Structures are given as structure tokens and as C-alpha cells.
Chains A and B, each alone.
Chain A
Amino acid sequence: MAQYILRRLTLLLPVLLGVSVVVFTLVRLIPGDATLLAIGVDQRISDEQRELVRKSYGLDQPQPVQYLRWMQHVVRGDLGSSLRTRRTVNEELRLRLPVTIELALLAALFGTIPALAVGVIAAVRRNSALDYTATIATLVGISVPNFLLATLLVLVFSIWLRWLPPIGYVEFERDPLGNLKTMILPAVSLSLPLAAVLMRNTRSAVLEVLGQEHVRVARAKGLTERRVLGRHVILNASLPILTVAGIQVASLLGGTVIIETIFGLPGIGRYTYEAIANRDYPVVQGVTLVVAAIFVLVSMTVDVLYAVLDPRLRTA
């Protein structure tokens, strides 16, 4: 097992190197650069002055030189500094990554637990009213974009009911309750597609196992329905569910971009979006590297969990 984890970890390195080259190149292929955006449309600026600004950003160097300089810092654990704010990417990540991770974890919590419960019940009581309701709910969940849901939630819970604030992030260590209050709506908005996909998958995975012979055998042995479900159905259905959950949880990070913008959360989703819009190359590069690493680690964790759940996979 340890060897398996180690082998997966060594794969991380080439992945990150590849990501670094790709993101470095891609972000520079987008038209325009940070200089243009800092200057805006105040075009009385002379060409010389424009070059001075570009030089102060280090963008006057040839691209391979820029890449190597960046890499020199990266291997020392320094992701560089934002062109716009001059703050270091490391410091920004220290502030922002916890926000996004909290958001993603809450969303995963809100998404997975009800989805699993409802999925199992829907499968067991197939074709019941509950099953149909759940199916319709998932259809809605998959189809409704989360920004629309976010707006609706703000309308209902902030404007009508006045239960939760629409914006105004506070750090957890400053005010834990206030922090949770500002996190609930975004986390719920973010969790909906996850919950919907997961519910459907749980239902079909459980249904599939329910139809298998070993379940009939278990029932024939006289086991209680609860035991049949617990030991023989859900455990066997958990592998495909885990696969989907892993992918969905990792892709939550993508959904944070819009949700963080709507609710004014200072996480890395919005940070990345703004960095791309402002051609803040070091930020885009640094954050992408870190997110790629997280993505790889999450999917690795899922693989390790497979092995834990299914002894047959341990030797693989």
C-alpha cells in the first residue's frame, strides 16, 4: 500500500511540470497583457512610458527567460508575486486557499450526505412517489446552473427572510458563526449539481447490486433487510459511487469561480478568474499549479480508498 501511494506521488512531478509549461504558454497566448489593463484606456501615455510599465512587470524579457526565472523560484517553493498587487502568490494562497477549501468541504458535505441517503432509499423503494420526486429533483439539480440557484437563494434567504447575509465574508478565526453564516448559501449553491449527479449514481449503483444473485442469497439466508442493505448492497455499490464522488468533488473547485464572485468570497476561484482577466501571469501560473496538485491528490486519495474498500485492488 505504501509503495502504491509512493508510486502515485512520483507521478505528481511530471504532471506538474507539464501543467507549468502548458499554463505558462497558454496564458501568454491570450491577447493583451497586464500592462494594457493597468493603463486602461487612458491613452495619452507615451510608448516609452508604456514600455517602462511593461519592464517594471518583467514582461520585456523573452518568454523562455521568463519561464526559467519563474521555475527558479518555484523549485524553492516561491510562486512569485502578482503583477498588479505586488503581493506574493504564496501569501495570497495562504489567505485564500482556506476559504475555497472550506467552501468545497461544506459543499461536499451538503452534497454527498443527502444524496447518498436519498439515492439508497430511492433505489430500495423503486417506482415509489419518493423515487419519482427524487428523480425530478435531480433533473432540476443537474439542469439549473449554480449561479441561478445562488441568485434565488440570495433572494429567498437574504432579501425575503433576512436570515443570512448576501455578502460580507469574515474569517473563521475572527467570527466562526459569522463565517458559517456567509458560507452556507454559497456552499449550498455549489453542492447542488454534485448532489444531483451523486444521487442518480447512487440510485443506479444500488439498483444494480440489488438485482444481483448474492443479494437474493443473503435474503434467502434470512438476513434482515437492514443487514442485507448494509453489508451486501451498499458496500458493493460504493465503488462506482466513490468514483463519481471523487470526480465531482475535485471539480467543485471549478464551480467556486462563479460562486465566490457572487457572494464576494475571497477564495482562489475568484482570484484566478480576476488574474486571468487582468493577465496577471504569475498568479494564474501559481494557482493553476497548486490546483493541479490538489486535483491529482484528490484523485489519488480516491484510488487509495478503492484499495481500502476492495481488497482485490490492493495488489494492482
Chain B
Amino acid sequence: MTTRNGPDSVRVSRRQVVAGAASLGLSASLLKHASGLAAPALQDAAPKSGGVLKVGLQADPTALDPQKQSLTAIWHVVEQIYSGLTRVKPDLSIEPALAESWEIAEDGITYTFKLRPGVLFHDGTPLKASDVKFTFERLVDPETASTSAAELASMKSIDAPDDETVVMTLNAPDASLLATLAGGSCFVYSQAFVEANNNDVSQVAMGTGPFKFVEYVPNTRIVLEKNPDYWEEGLPYLDGLEMTIAADDTARTAAVVTGTVDFIEYAPLRDIESLQQDSSITLAGDSNTNIRFAGLNLSVEPFDNLKVRQAIAMVVDRDAMLGPAVFGHGTPTEVLFPPDFWAALQQEVRPPDVEAAKALMAEAGHAEGFSTTITSWSQYSFLSNAAVVLQEQLRQIGIEAELNLVENATMIEDVYVNKTYDIAVTGDSAYVDPNTLVLANFKTGESGNFANYSNPDVDKLIDQGIAVTDQAERAKIYQEIQQKLLEDLPWINLFVANQYEAMKTNVKGYTHIPTGSNAAFRETWIEGS
């Protein structure tokens, strides 16, 4: 969850590529576009225990060790098996999980976590502070070669003075730490179990979560059973989860419509209308923490010229993009964060103004326009279709953009690693804390700052954003950052895409979480089971 992006399918992916071929999404309250949607499955009658929920996953996890690969698909399976010190609530606030409470020292550098007493691993052994220490040290150990090691880069040391106490010392204050600890790469392992498996937990899993690992048949199914000793009294209600891989959109919709499965994640956006009309289906969703944008490479001409960037921003018609990209299931936005997110800057989307854009182009010395390229993900239609529309819209001010739709590895290499692109239509998603998004993308010299953006004021604000812990104070800082980004325009933000889960109407108690997490399975139950 302190996760950026990720398709998959893969499939894509907690971060793997734009959050998954999948994560699309945003907030209901603002979304007139998604009117008439059923609210998340309502908790009507009293929950009943029993029954196995059959789930259609959008991608095969390939492996089960979230420290080794940054894939959404891994996270969506192991979040049922493991718990973290903290976890994310549906409103994106952080609540205690394995850590019952914590204290942050005055200096903001020392975090002391009290572990919940009596928590058992699935093998019956008690959770100890040394397991937490082991897990986090494994994450940052060069031997592990973790793809997520940077998430705990702010950790200087970790100690377990007794079995119930974990003391983390940071290099500098980091207000986003508690959100980071809720993420997939910080799920707590059993030291004994990992060591017994020669440090390889890619095909097996054993944690403290609501469901126990039973079987993983690659590309076919994942079977989990109820953990009767789960630390939340009375949960989970389900006897187990049986997850099937349904990568193809048509097949995934068909699977839930026909009852082959009870629940699908990433309900295909093109099928939302028909799923809404199906009386045997309930939809949950729509909000999702993601942003789809056109990133501009500020170190190549003419995008180093602010006037050109302003002209492009003015000519973009976001409403025209929503249909082709996400079948209307999204919210146009000029700012980084969705309007109902606590750190969001409230800013109306201004309508396009082609004449003013032309004037700016002339002032910039490009009255005749210029040729350039737009690079985007061929695998994710919600981005490539937006790129096609953008290409069309740029023609109005004489910009002839060649469309360069490439597959995942090439996209990552060209845009994110080598930064050899002009305009990139891409996305970022599944963040919980605003720092995740702004630090990696906009701080000077960060390797993830692929727009090559640099503004000393913003750098200072980013530092301040994690140096204070008060949320209202932080919100002001992030709003100021968004204001600066709106002036400097390293990214032209386009829209936030919705994300839905579809389930049979007898599936109750499920709550949509805007990060795309299915953690609510622990509270889900089947009526009539």
C-alpha cells in the first residue's frame, strides 16, 4: 500500500506497472459519472459464519513473498494470510493491527510499538517482537535484494527490548511511517518459519492473518482456510477463500454473472452498466487512490518551456477522455489528489481554451507547433486510449505527436529508468499517504522523478510534509505542493479512475477500500450459508 502503481497483471500490480491493469478509480462522492451505483455491500442482517467464498482474481500472484516483488497480485493474496503492525481503514486512515498502540517520541524519530498480546501465528507459536525485528531487517538486508527496500529507507535501526515491544529509530522524522507499515512489504513474518524454509517464502506462507495458507497451484487457484485463532474476536466469518485466476475481462465478468465465482476484483469498467442491471450482482466501489496523467519530460525541449506546458494543459479536454479511457467511470482532475482525500487541493477543472493555448504557443515561439512523441502502456487501455485522445487534442495547437504504445518492460525502461521520452501518459496508484506520491515523483534528484522536475520550494515542502505529524498541518503543506505543481506543470493530471468489485447479492459485509485492497474479506459472510 505504500505502493505506487502497478497492471500483472498483472498483470500488473501493486506497483507493478500502473497499479495493475487494473487499478482505476476514485471517489464516489464526487462522481456524478458513476451515479446509481450500489453502495458497498450493506451489512443488513447479522453476519453468519460458514461457507467458502469463491473469488476471481485479476492476475496470478506468481509468488507469495511481497518483499521480493512489488506486485499488486501478490499483495491481494498475502494480505489475507499476514497482518502488519498497522492497517488501512476504508477511509484511508491508519489503525492499529498487530501493534496495539504506539508512542512517537518528541523528536519524531523514535517509535515504540506495543504488540497486541496473545497473537498466534498459524502454526500456533506466539508472535514476538523479535519476529517484527526479523521481518523489517530482512526487508532492508541487501541479501534479500528486496524490490521494496526503499520503503523502509528511513529506518535506522530496530530493536526488540522484550517480547511485546518494538522500538524503531529513524534517520529523520517520517510522518508517513505508519502508513508504510500497513503496506504489503511490511507484513510480519515468523522468523522460525522463514528460517525453516531456508529464507524462501515464495511458494508458502504462514502469518497471523484471518486466513491460513492451504494450497497454491500456479495460475490455477489459491486455497485459504479460516484461521480459528485469528486475533480479532469472531472473525473471519468465512470458512475459507478459493481464489481462481480470471485474467481476461470477459471471462471475469462471465465468471461472476454465471456464479462460477461469488466475487471478482477489478470488475471490468466496460461491464459496469450491465453488472448494475443484473439483479444477482452487487457492486462495491468506486473510489480508488490513483492518478492518471501526462508526464512531461522537463529536460527536453520544448517541454522545458513553461508556456508550452501551460498551452498543453489548457488544450486538454478531460471530459472527452473519460469515455474512451474508462467508459466514463472516473473523475477529471487538475490536481494530484482526489477531492475527498484529506490532503487534496480543491480546484475546479477548468474547461479547455484552445485560443488562449494558441496564444501561449506563439509567445513560446512555437506558433506553428512542433512534433513530439507520446509514450504510453500498450497493455492498459485506460491509459493508451487517453493517450490517443490527447494526441488528437494536441493537434488543435499544432503539436503533432507520434503515438508510441509500448509493452510494460519497455515503458518502464524508457520512461522510468532511462527517461528517454517526451510526453508519457501513465499513472500511479494505491498510495495511502500523500508523501508516497510526492516524494518519489517530485523531489529533486529522486530516481523516480521521471519528469526531471526540480523546485527548491517544493523540496522544502516535501521535507516539511513528513516532519510534522498533525494531519491538518500536513494537509496544508500538501495543498501548497499541489498548488506549486499546478503552476509548474511537470504533470498534466487527467483523471482519477474508479475501481469496482462485483459480487453475488448473497455476499455480505464486504467494504471497498480505495487502495484496491480486499482486506474486507475478514468481515465478509455469505447469506444462507
Chain B min CB distance to A81 (Å): 11
The stretch that binds A, out of B42-50, B67-75, B76-84, B99-107, is B67-75
Q: How far is the CA of A112 from the CA of B463 in the complex (A)?
A: 69
Q: Does B349 contact A (CB under 8 A)?
A: no
Check A264–B245 contact: CB distance below 8 A.
yes
Check B15–A261 contact: CB distance below 8 A.
no
Chain A min CB distance to B176 (Å): 12
The stretch that binds A, out of B88-96, B109-117, B145-153, B497-505, is B145-153
Q: How far is the CA of A46 from the CA of B417 in the complex (A)?
A: 11
Q: Does B260 contact A (CB under 8 A)?
A: yes
Most chain B Cβ neighbours within 10 Å, of A38, A44, A159, A271: A44
Chain A residues, CB < 8 A from B417: 36, 43
Q: Does A154 contact B (CB under 8 A)?
A: yes
Check A154–B16 contact: CB distance below 8 A.
no
Q: How far is the CA of A43 from the CA of B428 in the complex (A)?
A: 11
Q: Does B526 contact A (CB under 8 A)?
A: no
Q: How far is the CA of A168 from the CA of B63 in the complex (A)?
A: 20
Chain A residues, CB < 8 A from B250: 151, 154, 166, 262
Residue of A nearest to B219 (CB): A266
Q: CB < 8 Å: which of B4, B202, B251 contacts A42?
A: B4
Check B258–A162 contact: CB distance below 8 A.
yes
Q: How far is the CA of A37 from the CA of B68 in the complex (A)?
A: 12
Q: Does B31 contact A (CB under 8 A)?
A: no
Check B70–A154 contact: CB distance below 8 A.
no
Q: How far is the CA of A44 from the CA of B447 in the complex (A)?
A: 6
Chain B residues 388-414 with CB under 8 Å of chain A are 407-410, 412-414
Q: A43-B448, A44-B448, A167-B244 are in contact. Are A38 and B220 (CB under 8 A)?
A: no
Chain A min CB distance to B52 (Å): 14
Residue of B nearest to A52 (CB): B145
Chain B residues, CB < 8 A from A167: 56, 244-246, 248, 251-252, 254-255, 260-261
Q: How far is the CA of A45 from the CA of B63 in the complex (A)?
A: 21
Most chain B Cβ neighbours within 10 Å, of A56, A84, A168, A278: A168
Contact-residue size bin, chain B (C-beta under 8 Å from the other chain): 35 or more
Q: CB < 8 Å: which of A42, A168, A270 contacts B440?
A: A42
Q: How far is the CA of A169 from the CA of B3 in the complex (A)?
A: 31
Check A40–B15 contact: CB distance below 8 A.
yes
Q: CB < 8 Å: which of B14, B147, B251, B409 contacts A31?
A: B409
Q: How far is the CA of A66 from the CA of B122 in the complex (A)?
A: 40
Check A40–B16 contact: CB distance below 8 A.
yes
Can you list, as one digit per residue, whether each of A46-59 has a CB less than 8 Å from chain B (1) or not (0)? 11010011011000
Can you list, as one digit per residue, whether each of B330-349 has a CB less than 8 Å from chain A (1) or not (0)? 00000000000000000000
Check A40–B246 contact: CB distance below 8 A.
no
Chain B residues 212-252 with CB under 8 Å of chain A are 217-220, 244-248, 250-252
A to B contact number (C-beta, < 8 Å): 187
Contact-residue size bin, chain A (C-beta under 8 Å from the other chain): 35 or more
Chain B residues, CB < 8 A from A169: 220
Residue of A nearest to B412 (CB): A36
Can you list, as one digit per residue, whether each of A277-294 has a CB less than 8 Å from chain B (1) or not (0)? 111000000000000000
Q: How far is the CA of A52 from the CA of B142 in the complex (A)?
A: 7
Chain A residues, CB < 8 A from B244: 167-168, 264
Q: A43-B447, A46-B150, A264-B244 are in contact. Are A32 and B218 (CB under 8 A)?
A: no
Residue of B nearest to A31 (CB): B410
Check A159–B257 contact: CB distance below 8 A.
yes
Check B148–A42 contact: CB distance below 8 A.
yes
Q: How far is the CA of A56 from the CA of B408 in the complex (A)?
A: 21
Chain B min CB distance to A151 (Å): 5
Q: A85-B62, A95-B218 are in contact. Are A40 and B257 (CB under 8 A)?
A: no
Chain B min CB distance to A128 (Å): 38
Chain B residues, CB < 8 A from A162: 258
Q: Does B13 contact A (CB under 8 A)?
A: yes
Chain B residues, CB < 8 A from A39: 15, 70, 147, 412
Check A86–B428 contact: CB distance below 8 A.
no
Q: Does A87 contact B (CB under 8 A)?
A: yes
Chain B residues 10-29 with CB under 8 Å of chain A are 12-18
Chain B min CB distance to A154 (Å): 5
Can you list, as one digit per residue, whether each of A19-39 has a CB less than 8 Å from chain B (1) or not (0)? 000000000001111001111
Check A262–B251 contact: CB distance below 8 A.
yes
Chain B residues, CB < 8 A from A238: none
Chain B min CB distance to A86 (Å): 5
**Interchain Cβ contacts under 8 Å between A and B, 25 examples:** A30-B410, A38-B16, A39-B412, A40-B70, A42-B148, A43-B416, A44-B150, A44-B151, A47-B447, A85-B62, A85-B63, A85-B203, A86-B203, A87-B203, A154-B250, A154-B254, A159-B254, A166-B246, A166-B254, A166-B255, A168-B244, A266-B218, A266-B245, A277-B408, A278-B409
Binding site for A on B (CB under 8 A): 3-6, 12-18, 56, 60, 62-63, 68-71, 142, 145-151, 153, 200, 202-203, 217-220, 244-248, 250-252, 254-255, 257-258, 260-261, 407-410, 412-414, 416-417, 426, 428, 439-440, 446-450
